[in-house]
Structure 1
Amino acid sequence: MALLYIVPSCMFFILNISVNNYAAAGIIENFDNNIDWKMAVEKINQLEKMVKEQDKRIFALEKRPTESEWRSLTEELRKQNDRIAHLETKISKLEIPMEDKENKSIREGLSPEVSKYAGNALSSEPGIPSKKRLLLQPTTVPVEMIAFFAYFSSNHLISDAAYILAFDTVITNVGNAYHPHSGTFIAPRSGLYVFTWTIRQSGTNYHTTELTVNNKIVNVIHLNPGNTIDGTGTGTVVVHVNQGDDVLVRTGSNYNNGYIFSSEFGRSSFAGWILN
């Protein structure tokens, strides 16, 4: 009889669980298909990430020293620097008396004659500093050298006036102030300069040439061999030139005809250097 009551009860319990599970599955399925539910879950996940990120930033900020701590560290550093400067001053004042005392003790242990000689030797010994040696010696700044020399690599047919002679073969160009493509020297600094140029002529060729500084004529030479000689003419100037000034050699306004010669038998050239 008891068995008859137990069996129906178990069947009812199993049936009830099945119905409840089915209902729960239906609810979950409805939530999964609900767009608002999905958006709410996604929003919650985003908020959780934001909270975690904020926690990390708060943790990092808590590790930083506060403004008062920064001020305290800065003040401590300033005090330490002041102490170091004070100690360095005291040490520098003590060094000279100590050296003098050491030299005196050495001299006292010697005979009068040797002591006198040793005193002179110690005071002039290069390895032992003295009060006089503490004075800063004047130093001279090395002056940069400026010099150039260039010549024509071949004969040049020139009959125009004010034609710039671009001496194209450069032998010396200390300071890189001479520019062979334009035939112009541009002064890298102000000073007193020497310039010299040589022109070779032969036969019926003749030219007037002039050296100019910023288009101002400083010196002129003229050579006309008269079909009787093969020779050269040279001009020299000593002139103050300012930084950035242009110095060049050009043909004169008159008396220009034929070739300016330059070969192994004699070269037409241009040179210059600074005196100070």
Structure 2
Amino acid sequence: MIINLLFRTIFILQLLFTCKGSIRKRILVDDNFYTLVNKLDALEKEVATLKANAANNNTIQALKQDVALLKMQQAKQTNTVAFMAYLTTHERGTNHHILFDDVKTNIGNAYNPRHGVFIAPVDGLYQFSVTACSVSQHYIVLELNVKDTVLGKVIAGNGWAAACNSKVFLVQLAQGDDVFVTHTTTGEWLYANAAYGVPNFTGLLIKET
């Protein structure tokens, strides 16, 4: 205990010569040894509090920087664009523009079920999928069109049972480009089953460019 007090006394003497004027005045108000020890304890606690506050300030500053970065990233992103629509009636014959009429999702309202057309709201990379179905002894080929140009085809059919097939497409679109599904001349029976949600047409914006 005595040794500890001696160390504290030495520290107080050093503090008197090194501390700022305002703190020195506070220490010199009362030169009672034990009072000085108590003041030293209080100063140690005050220093610990200041260190904790400094650490908290650093944490707050780091959080503010993270928030600013997230806001910048959010500003670069567009609203979500996505749709999913089913066909509820069979199509027989050839040369059809397929109107997927049962819309399950249409975030951004870029898909028009009355015309069966998706219109790109922004420039970007998009993903589309088309599912085609046909009955036994028949088959069907559907085309995915972008601005009246066939991007790709999906074929479905089976010799002994109804069958479906799906295909995924990636395409870079400019704002205003239209995307739709047709059946021209290959195959003649597009089978629909609303209970299973087929055939279907889906799309989403992957990244705005």
TM-score range, shorter chain: 0.5 to 0.7
What do residues 108-130 of structure 1 show as CA deviations (whole Å, max 9, x unaligned)? 98534651x3233222436xx88
Which runs of no fewer than 5 residues in structure 2 stay unpaired? Answer: 1-21, 28-38
1:156 aligns to 2:87 (yes or no): no
What do residues 173-225 of structure 1 show as CA deviations (whole Å, max 9, x unaligned)? 00000000110000111111111111111123321111111122222112232
CA contact (8 A) 1:193 1:241 kept: yes
CA contact (8 A) 1:211 1:247 kept: yes
* Counterpart-to-counterpart distance in 2, 1:266 and 1:243: 29
Q: How do 1:107-126 and structure 2 match up within 5 A?
A: 110-112=42-44, 114-115=46-47, 117-125=48-56
Q: Which amino acid aligns with 1:192?
A: L
Which residue number in structure 2 is paired with residue 231 of structure 1? 163
Calculate the TM-score normalised by the size of structure 2.
0.67
* Counterpart-to-counterpart distance in 2, 1:172 and 1:259: 22
Which residue number in structure 1 is paired with residue 149 of structure 2? 216
For the residue of structure 2 that corresponds to 1:137, the secondary structure is helix
State the Cα distance separating 1:265 from its structure 2 match. Answer: 5.0
* Counterpart-to-counterpart distance in 2, 1:207 and 1:137: 52
1:169 aligns to 2:102 (yes or no): yes
What do residues 27-70 of structure 1 show as CA deviations (whole Å, max 9, x unaligned)? xxxxxxxxxxxxxxxxxxxxxxxxxxxxxxxxxxxxxxxxxxxx
Which residue number in structure 1 is paired with residue 182 of structure 2? 250
* Counterpart-to-counterpart distance in 2, 1:256 and 1:181: 24
Could you say which structure has the higher helix fraction? 1
CA contact (8 A) 1:150 1:170 kept: yes
Q: How do 1:1-276 and structure 2 match up within 5 A?
A: 110-112=42-44, 114-115=46-47, 117-125=48-56, 137-138=68-69, 139-140=71-72, 141=75, 143-157=78-92, 159-161=93-95, 163-226=96-159, 228-252=160-184, 254-264=185-195, 267-276=198-207
* Counterpart-to-counterpart distance in 2, 1:243 and 1:229: 41
* Counterpart-to-counterpart distance in 1, 2:196 and 2:105: 21
> In structure 2, do the counterparts of structure 1 residues 204 and 170 end up closer, same or farther at CA, with 3 Å as the change threshold?
same
State the Cα distance separating 1:258 from its structure 2 match. Answer: 3.1
* Counterpart-to-counterpart distance in 2, 1:177 and 1:270: 13
Task: Name the Cα RMSD after superposition.
Answer: 3.2
Which residue number in structure 2 is paired with residue 75 of structure 1? none
> In structure 2, do the counterparts of structure 1 residues 275 and 200 end up closer, same or farther at CA, with 3 Å as the change threshold?
same
Could you say which structure has the higher strand fraction? 2
CA contact (8 A) 1:192 1:239 kept: yes
* Counterpart-to-counterpart distance in 2, 1:156 and 1:262: 12
- Give the total of aligned pairs: 164
Q: Which amino acid aligns with 1:145?
A: T
For the residue of structure 2 that corresponds to 1:206, the secondary structure is strand
Q: How high is the sequence identity, in percent, across the aligned residues?
A: 25
